[in-house]
Amino acid sequence: MPRYMSLIRVDENNAPEGGPSPELMQRMGVLLEEMTKAGVMLDTGGLLPTAEGTRVRWEGGKISVTDGPFTETKEVIGGYALLQCKDRAEAVEWTTRFLKVHEDHWTVTVELREIVAG
């Protein structure tokens, strides 16, 4: 079965103060448990804010290292999920369910990409 990387993008500047609500975390836990039992969820995790990150770039034959925060970036990867689904439609269905557990004041975009087999 194909595997998909779900890159969860959030706007760090407009994320709710204090992060996710307890109710959101409860709904998320229920969904993640269902996905795990269905054999779809292989791994998932959240990422610390960009203020605690580092970018390492290769350009023109040289390495540059930049510590966060990355002020020029509006939307950042806030988390990920590694899914194993029968096809893209199933991966989109699970991703849609993931997005719908969020309250209306959240703005979340998920980039869903199939992992190259091999």
| Domain count along the chain | 1
Q: How confident is the model at residue 74 (pLDDT cuts 50, 70, 90)?
A: confident
Q: How confident is the model at residue 15 (pLDDT cuts 50, 70, 90)?
A: confident
Q: Write down the pLDDT at residue 92.
A: 98
pTM for the model stands at 0.87
Q: Write down the pLDDT at residue 4.
A: 98
Q: How confident is the model at residue 27 (pLDDT cuts 50, 70, 90)?
A: very high
CB 82 within 8 A of CB 3: yes
34-67 pLDDT, tens digit each: 999 999 999 999 999 888 999 999 999 999 999 9
Domain CATH code at residue 69: 3.30.70.1060
Residue 65 CB contacts under 8 Å (≥ 6 apart), including other chains = 54, 55, 56, 57
Q: Write down the pLDDT at residue 9.
A: 93
Structural domain for 100, as ranges: 3-114
